[in-house]
């Protein structure tokens, strides 16, 4: 199992400590995560694997501040995320977390550049500064020449790269990817994985990626496995 050590905590960007997540169905308690411990170092590219229903997306949502644990601690860069008020949590998430989703989640009525700009609308940046950030993010994903295109005018791989540009436009502390290649063919998926690797190795981005695909997890620097609410360093047999 994943070990808990004080020395590891000091060197970790993400510290998930004794986390439980459960829901009540009438009088029955349904556990999703049980006594879960995880450490992710700054600059690491972590793949999170496991069968459907094992709690991978739930864990990702807890780390990203989209949900709260029933018990335990979620600490990101020294901030107890599980203790923040809803207002402070929204502000923290806007500053520190970039999300990349399987189905892109692009607004069809907005161009690529306007989709990428959306997270910046929560900041105090001027319109000119927002535009510079958007141009930089689109350049990093190789889509400067597609900035004015709508999602329907882009391929699946291009849409996902717009999603990644949106995820990194605020220069987040942590990039969370939920099945980023799950809706793509192998060629487009490899392009997205190449991009994530470049963001990690060349730009030092810390990435946590949920995936079912061993081909995708092989691109990460470390893989952990979630099954029945608990983590292991070894795949489920």
Query: Which CATH number belongs to the domain containing residue 188 in this structure?
Result: 3.40.50.300
Which tokens go with 35? 């006594």
Residue 98 lies in a domain: yes
Q: Are strands 222-227 and 45-49 parallel, antiparallel or unpaired?
A: parallel
Residue 22 lies in a domain: no
CA angle 53–59–65, rounded 5-degree value: 135
Half-sphere exposure of 31 (CA within 13 A, CB side): 11
- Domain ranges, residue 143: 42-68+85-232
- How do strand 222-227 and strand 174-178 relate by DSSP bridges? unpaired
Residue 232 confidence (pLDDT) = 87
What is the chain's mean pLDDT, rounded?
91
Q: Please state the separation of Cα 146 from the chain's center in Å.
A: 24
Burial letters 144-171, b for 16+ CB under 10 A, else e: eebbebbbeebebbbbbbbbbbbbbbbe
Residue 33: inside a domain: no
Return the half-sphere exposure (C-beta side, CA atoms, 13 A cut-off) of residue 76.
24
Specify if 24 maps to a domain. no
pLDDT at 237: 61
Per-residue model confidence as pLDDT tens digits over 189-220 = 999 999 999 999 999 999 999 999 999 999 99
Task: Tell me the three state secondary structure of residue 70.
Answer: coil
pLDDT at 5: 45
Whether residue 117 lies inside any domain: the answer is: yes
Task: Tell me the pLDDT tens digit for each residue of 165-195.
Answer: 999 999 999 999 999 998 899 999 999 999 9
C-alpha radius of gyration, the chain, whole number = 18
Q: How many CA atoms lie within 13 A of 207 on its CB side?
A: 32
CA pair distance 184, 3, nearest whole angstrom = 35
Residue 27 lies in a domain: no
- Tell me the three state secondary structure of residue 75: strand
- Residues 189 and 87: their CA atoms lie apart, in Å, by 36
Q: In angstroms, rounded to a whole number, what is the distance separating the alpha carbons of residues 121 and 104? A: 19
Q: 3-state DSSP helix/strand/coil percent for the chain, to nearest 5?
A: 40, 25, 35
| Total domains in the fold of the chain | 1
Q: Tell me if 3 is assigned to some domain.
A: no
- DSSP annotation of 81: G
Cα separation, 185 vs 163, in Å, equals 17
- Is residue 57 assigned to a domain? yes
What would the pLDDT profile of 59-117 be if each residue is shown by its tens digit?
999 999 999 999 999 999 999 999 999 999 988 998 899 999 988 899 999 999 999 99
**C-alpha 25 chain-centroid distance:** 29
């Amino acid at each position: 199992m994943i070990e808990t050590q004080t020395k590891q905590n000091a060197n970790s960007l993400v510290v998930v400590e004794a986390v439980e997540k459960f829901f009540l169905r009438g009088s029955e308690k349904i556990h999703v995560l049980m006594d879960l411990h995880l450490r992710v170092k700054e600059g690491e590219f972590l793949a999170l694997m496991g069968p459907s229903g094992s709690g991978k997306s739930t864990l990702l949502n807890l780390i990203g501040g989209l949900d709260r644990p029933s018990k335990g601690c979620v600490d990101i860069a020294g901030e107890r995320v599980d203790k923040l008020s809803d207002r402070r949590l929204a502000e923290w998430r806007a500053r520190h977390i970039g999300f990349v989703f399987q189905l892109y989640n692009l607004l069809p009525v907005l161009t690529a550049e306007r989709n990428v700009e959306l997270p910046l609308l929560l900041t105090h940046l001027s319109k000119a500064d927002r535009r510079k950030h958007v141009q930089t993010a689109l350049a990093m994903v190789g889509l400067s020449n597609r900035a004015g295109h709508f999602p329907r005018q882009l391929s699946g791989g291009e849409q996902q790269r717009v999603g990644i540009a949106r995820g990194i436009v605020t220069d987040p502390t942590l990039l969370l990817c939920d099945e980023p290649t799950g809706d793509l063919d192998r060629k487009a998926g490899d392009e997205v994985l190449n991009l994530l690797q470049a963001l990690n190795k060349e730009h030092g981005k810390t990435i946590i990626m949920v995936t079912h695909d061993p081909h995708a997890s092989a691109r990460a620097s470390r893989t952990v496995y979630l099954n029945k609410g608990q983590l292991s360093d070894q795949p489920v047999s």
